[in-house]
């Protein structure tokens, strides 16, 4: 059995973290556990952009939690870490990201800042926000498990650069991604 550790960063609603447990269990056939770590978000803050650097968050996670160096192709039990952020994330070359992951690594971060309807001048929609967060959490962890973007529109690994793109895709993996995932280092 694999394990996924959820790391809610400062300001993240408990209810949203809990909403991820079942879908992640189902998607990765994994044991889900919560983590309590005091992470100083200020160290990731960029004053010029007023955003948080997701690459730096991943770097912090790699230094503190990652067990990547222990993994081998035959290892049947492995761990992955997902940080959840309430803040707006960026990587230096792009204006924003919904999340970031270490491709074929074991760490990922997802933010629900830009998944909220109110950021686009629309009335808040809690159900939609939860659904979007679940999709993006699975998407980023999919990258951490070695999956790249998928051409199938309905697949959760389909690329989404606009929030509307997230709504168009589904929560499950397509058959092709599922097979790749199952072969991926015996992790699911």
Partner 1 sequence: MDKHEIGILVVDDELIVRESLTKWFREDGFRTDAAENAAAALRKLQSSCWDIILVDIKMPGMDGIELLQRIKELKNDIIVIIITAFASVDTAVKALKQGAYDYVTKPIDPDYLDHLISKALNERSLVRENIKLKDAVSELSEKDVIIGESPEMQRVIEMVKTVAPTDTTVMIRGESGTGKELIARAIHNQSQRKYFPIVTVNCGALTETLLESELFGHEKGAFTGAQYRRKGKVELADGGTLFLDEVGNISPKTQMDLLRVLETKQFMRVGGSEIIHSDFRVICATNCDLEAAVRDGRFREDLYYRLNVFSIPLPPLRARRGDIAKLAHYFLEQYSKAMGKPRHGFTAEAMHALKAYDWPGNVRELENAIERAMVVSDGPVIDKQHLPVQTVLPATADGKRLEDVERRHIERILHETGWNISRSASILDIDRVTLYHKIEKFGLKRHQ
Which of the residues are catalytic? 140
Comparing CA positions, the residue from 9, 24, 15, 94 lying closest to residue 57 is: 9
Q: Measured from the CB atom, is 17 or 116 closer to partner 1?
A: 116
Stretch that binds partner 1, among 28-36, 74-82, 142-150, 167-175 (CB under 8 A): 142-150
Residue with tokens 């990765």: 28
**Minimum distance from residue 145 beta carbon to partner 1 (Å):** 12
For the chain, the first-to-last Cα distance in angstroms comes to: 7
Among 25, 67, 153, 161, which residue interacts with partner 1 (rule: CB under 8 A)? 161
Determine, following the binding rule CB under 8 A, whether residue 19 of this chain makes contact with partner 1: no
Does 93 help bind partner 1 (rule: CB under 8 A)? yes
Q: Is 168 in the site for partner 1 (CB under 8 A)?
A: no
Q: Interacting stretch for partner 1, rule CB under 8 A, among 5-13, 29-37, 96-104, 126-134?
A: 96-104
> Contact with partner 1 (CB under 8 A): which of 103, 122, 154, 168?
103
Q: How far apart are CA 73 and CA 156, in angstroms?
A: 25
Near partner 1 by CB under 8 A: residue from 22, 29, 119, 149: 149
> What b-and-e string marks burial along 41-59, b requiring 16 or more CB atoms within 10 Å of the CB?
eeebeeeeeebbbbbbbbe
Residue 143: which H helix or E strand, with range? Answer: helix 126-144
2-8 and 51-53: which strand pairing?
A: unpaired
- Residue 35 in the binding site for partner 1 (CB under 8 A): no
* Pair type for strands 79-85 and 45-46: unpaired
Binding-site ranges for partner 1 (CB under 8 A): 49, 55, 90-97, 101, 103, 143, 148-149, 159, 161-162
């Amino acid at each position: 059995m694999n394990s996924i550790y959820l790391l809610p960063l400062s300001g993240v609603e408990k209810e949203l973290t809990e909403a991820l447990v079942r879908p992640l269990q189902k998607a990765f056939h994994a044991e889900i556990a919560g983590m309590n770590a005091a992470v100083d978000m200020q160290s990731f803050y960029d004053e010029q952009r007023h955003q948080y650097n997701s690459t730096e968050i991943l770097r912090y996670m790699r230094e503190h939690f990652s067990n990547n160096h222990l993994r081998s192709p035959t290892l049947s039990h492995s761990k992955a870490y997902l940080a959840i952020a309430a803040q707006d994330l960026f990587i230096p070359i792009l204006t924003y990201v919904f999340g970031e992951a270490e491709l074929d690594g074991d760490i990922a971060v997802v933010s629900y800042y830009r998944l909220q309807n109110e950021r686009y001048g629309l009335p808040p929609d809690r159900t939609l926000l939860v659904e979007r967060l679940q999709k993006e959490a699975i998407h980023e962890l999919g990258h951490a498990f070695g999956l790249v973007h998928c051409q199938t529109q309905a697949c959760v690994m389909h690329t989404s650069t606009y929030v509307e793109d997230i709504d168009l895709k589904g929560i499950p993996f397509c058959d092709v991604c599922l097979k790749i995932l199952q072969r991926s280092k015996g992790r699911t």
